Amino acid sequence: MVKKVIIVGGGTSGWMTASYLRAAFGDRVAVTLVESKNIATIGVGEATFSTIRHFFDYLGLEEREWMPECHATYKLAIRFQNWRAPGHHFYHPFERLRVVDGFPLTDWWLHNGLSDRFDRDCFVISSLCDAKRSPRYLSGALFEQDFEENAEQRAYRTTLTEQGTQFPYAYHFDAALLARYLTRYATERGVRHVLDDVVDVRLDERGWIDHVVTREHGELKGDLFVDCTGFRGMLLNKALSVPFVSYQDSLPNDRAVALRVPVDMAEHGMRPCTTATAMDAGWIWTIPLYGRVGTGYVYASDYCEPEEAERTLREFVGPMADSLEANHIRMRIGRSERSWVNNCVAIGLSSGFVEPLESTGVFFIQHGIEQLVKHFPSEHWDDRVRESYNQRVANAMDGVREFLVLHYRAAARSDNPYWKDAATRVIPDGLGERMEQWQAKLPDSETIFPHYHGFEPYSYVAMLLGLGGLSLTSSPALRLFDQSRAADEMRLVHEQAKTLVAKLPSQYEYFAHLHGDP
C-alpha cells in the first residue's frame, strides 16, 4: 500500500485532510504536513453545510469539546435577504419537506398556501431563525428528537454518501481557530508538522512527484502528495501543469472583501443562520460566531471596483467597521480539470471553488477527503481508481455550480446592469432544459443535476419559491384531492414552530451556557 503521505498547506483543507487520514488509517499511513509561516491562509470560510457533522463524528469529536474553542455556533439555514425585492427575505433551511398524499408540502403551498411565506408554511426552521432560537435545549437535547442524536451509539462511522437523515444544522466556526484545533488533534495522533516553505517540487522521469524541497528542512519524500496550497495550486496546477476549468462565464463574481467584526452578542443576539444579502454587484455574507461576526462582500470586478466594494461593506456594517482592517481576496472560480493526477491529489481551493453563496468550500474539502479514503491507492496506482475519484469530485463541483447559477437566474431582481445581465449570462449545459421542466413541475430527485453534489430536491424548490423570478405552475392533479389535509399539515408546522420558539433557548443563551459565561 501507499504508506507515506505529504500534505503541503496548513489551511482548513490541509488540517482537515491530515486529521481525517489519521482518524481513518491510524499509524498504518505516515502523514507529514508542511505549511509556510510566511504565506497566510485565505482567512475566510466560516459557514458550513449540514453534512459537516459527519466529519467531526468521524474524528470522534463532541460538540462541547471543539465548538467553544473554535467560537462555533449553529447554522440552521441561509437567510436570503433582498434577492427578490428590498426588504424581502426567505430561508433555505436544512429541513426536508413533509409529504401529503404523495406531494411535497411545497407543491401544496404553490397550489394554495396559507400565507405568502412558503418557508414558514412548510418548514419549522424558518420560524426558529426569525426568532433566533438554538436548535438545542440547554440540556443538550435536540429540538427534533427524530433526528439521529448520538453518534456514539452507532457501531460505525458514517460519511456523506450514507447520510439517511437530514440533520437540521451545520456550524459556523472561526477558520483560524479550527485549523489550530485540528493541528493539535492531528499532531497528538502522530502527524508530523513541518513549518517551512516549499520552494520546489521535483518530478521523476515519469512526471510523478518524487519529493518537495523546503527552505530549511531539506527534501520531503513521499508516496502520495496532497496539494492544499489554496488558489496557488503549487503542486497540481503549477508543477504538474493540470489545467484549470473556469466557471467565470456563468458565475462572474471573482473578488471579495472581508471584515471580522467584534459584536456584543448579549446585546444583539445571534441569528442561527448565515445571511446572504443581495447587493448591487453581488452579495454580502453575515456569519455570526460567538463574539464576532464574519462578513464580506462577494462581487464581480466587471461591475465594481475594490474601493467601492470596501466602502459598501463598511456602510453595511456601520460604525463598528471603522477601525477594522479589510481583507481583499481574488477568487479563482472553477475547478482543476482533474483533481488527482499521478501521485498528487488536490484538496481545497487548489482542487476547485465556486463562490461561497451556499457555503460549499468546506463541503468540497470534506467530500474530497472522504473520496480519497474510499479510493486510497495501492502501490499499483490503478488508473481506474483515479478516474473514479476525479469523476466524483468534478460532478460535485459541476452540480454546485449549476445550483448557484440557478440562484442568479431565478432571482426576481433586475434593477441594475449586474442583475439584468444575470438573466442572459451563459448557463451550464442541461440547466436550461431543467429550468423549463421545473417551471411546469417543481424539482424532484428525477429532475435535478443527476450526480451527487450535496443538494437535494427540497433545496432547489426552496430557492425557486423564494427567489421568485421564474413563473411556476402547481400540479393540476392537486385540485382533485381533499384540500384540507395539506392545510392541516401547514397549520401543524405553524403550531410546532410556535411551541418550539416558546420553549427553546435563544442561540445566544445556549452558547453563553456552553462557554460558562454569565
Q: Which residues bind ligand FAD (CB under 6 A)?
A: 8-14, 34-36, 39, 41-42, 44-48, 175, 197-198, 228-230, 232, 234, 256, 296, 329, 331, 348-349, 356, 359-362, 365
To 5 degrees, how large is the angle CA 183–CA 336–CA 393? 70
Q: How far is the CB of 178 from ligand FAD (least distance, A)?
A: 9
d(CA 405, CA 434): 12
Cβ 295 vs Cβ 287: under 8 Å: yes
CA distance 463 to 467: 6
Residue 107 CB, nearest distance to ligand FAD (Å)?
31
Question: Least distance to ligand FAD from the beta carbon of 282, Å?
Answer: 11
224 burial (CB, 10 Å; 0-12 / 13-18 / 19+) is buried
What is the distance between the alpha carbons of residues 411 and 431, in angstroms, rounded to a whole number?
15
Residue 436 CA to residue 470 CA, distance in Å, equals: 10
Furthest-apart CA atoms within the chain: distance in Å: 75
Residue 343: which of 290, 293, 381 has the closest Cα? 381
User: Which CA distances in Å does 32 have to 35, 111, 191, 227, 363?
Assistant: 10, 57, 6, 12, 23
The dihedral over CA atoms of 29, 32, 33, 36, expressed in degrees to the nearest 10, equals -170
Distance CA 18, CA 33 (A): 7
| 132 tagged catalytic | no
Residue with smaller CB distance to ligand FAD, 187 or 447: 187
Residue 389: phi, psi to the nearest 5?
-60, -50
> Residue 430 Cβ, how far from ligand FAD at the closest point, in Å?
25
3-state DSSP assignment of residue 357: helix
Residues facing residue 289 across a β-bridge: none
- The CA-atom distances, in angstroms, between 226 and each of 16, 91, 368, 432 are 12, 37, 11, 36
Q: In Å, what is the CA distance from 422 to each residue of 144, 225, 400, 413, 442?
A: 39, 39, 17, 9, 22
In a 10 Å sphere around its CB, with 0-12 CB exposed, 13-18 middle and 19+ buried, how is residue 479 labelled? exposed
Residue 310 backbone dihedrals phi, psi, to 5 degrees: -65, -40
- Least CB distance from residue 496 to ligand FAD, whole Å? 29
Nearer to ligand FAD, 362 or 461 (CB): 362
The CA distance from 187 to 19, in Å, is: 9
Residue at grid coordinates 433545496: 459
> In this complex, which beta carbon is closest to ligand FAD, that of residue 356 or of residue 454?
356
346 or 486, CB closer to ligand FAD?
Answer: 346
- For the chain, the distance separating the N- and C-terminal CA atoms, rounded to the nearest angstrom, is 53
Cβ 109 to ligand FAD, closest distance in Å? 29
> Given 3, 4, 37, 75, which residue is catalytic?
75
CA 497 to chain centre: 26
Cβ 367 vs Cβ 393: under 8 Å: yes
Indicate which residues carry an active-site annotation: 75
